[in-house]
């Protein structure tokens, strides 16, 4: 279970030292953990997530507006939506191993909460909110630019992999299908393996904690294989 020593490691990883350490601890505290504390109940991340979501929208809007002077409002909205959605934030959270710093209740921890996309994406937003309160807009913006709005070309390829692959296959006049070939693990911690098939022939495999994630990984692997 993370204590302040571990959170110091998280501070080093994100390159920011909190003046108010309680803000960072709140940002990584899930309601399941705070509910288990009968004495000195900790605040959870939900309010910080609310704030962080708004700050992230402003930072990303500013970024896409400045970086794409010829892009229409509709195009920027679509791009922003794909780059800061739950799946995208979870991808970025895994990059910094955010899951291992979470304070979770025993039940939530036992059922795979540390890797659950809905939780780690929320915590990313909570950290943005905490940074905004502790260090102002600049601190939050630095974090977003470094850990979320970086390497966008490769990230966008991953996020849009199913659509991009579908378009490539259609241009060839072929059919793309996905087939679930394996499902392992207990109900609370499933692992799915999916095959991407072209005209019925297996091309690549992908794994994930749900079918959608597995399909996306299979599509991304197919695009990487295509490029090679």
Choice among 53, 86, 160, 189 that is catalytic: 53
Catalogue the long-range contacts made by 4-11 (C-beta closer than 8 Å, 24 or more residues apart).
6/100, 6/101, 7/101, 9/101, 10/96, 10/98, 10/101
CB 147 within 8 A of CB 92: yes
Helix (H, G, I), strand (E, B) or coil at 16: coil
CB 196 within 8 A of CB 203: yes
6 annotated active-site: no
Helices (H), the chain: 4-14, 21-27, 31-36, 46-67, 73-83, 86-95, 106-110, 117-147, 152-159, 161-171, 211-227
The pair of structure tokens assigned to 25 is 């601890």
125 annotated active-site: yes
The pair of structure tokens assigned to 222 is 């197919």
Choice among 49, 122, 125, 134 that is catalytic: 125
Which active-site residues does the annotation give? 53, 125
């Amino acid at each position: 279970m993370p204590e302040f020593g571990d959170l110091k490691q998280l501070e080093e990883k994100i390159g920011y030292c909190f003046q108010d350490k309680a803000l960072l601890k709140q940002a990584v505290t899930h309601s399941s953990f705070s509910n288990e504390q009968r004495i000195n109940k900790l605040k959870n991340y939900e309010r910080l997530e609310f704030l962080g979501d708004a700050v992230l929208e402003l930072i990303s809007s500013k970024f896409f507006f400045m970086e794409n002077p010829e892009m229409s409002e509709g195009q920027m909205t679509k791009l922003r939506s794909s780059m800061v959605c739950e799946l995208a934030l979870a991808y970025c959270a895994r990059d910094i191993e955010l899951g291992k710093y979470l304070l979770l209740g025993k039940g939530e921890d036992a059922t795979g909460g540390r890797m659950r996309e809905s939780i780690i994406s929320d915590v990313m937003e909570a950290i943005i909110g905490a940074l905004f309160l502790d260090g102002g807009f600049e601190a939050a913006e630095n974090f977003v630019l470094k850990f979320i709005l970086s390497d966008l070309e490769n990230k966008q390829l991953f996020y849009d992999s199913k659509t991009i692959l579908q378009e490539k296959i259609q241009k060839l006049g072929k059919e793309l299908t996905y087939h679930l070939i394996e499902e392992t693990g207990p109900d609370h911690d499933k692992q799915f393996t999916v095959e991407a098939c072209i005209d019925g022939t297996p091309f690549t495999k992908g794994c994930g904690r749900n079918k959608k994630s597995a399909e996306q990984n299979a599509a991304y692997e197919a695009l990487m294989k295509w490029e090679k």
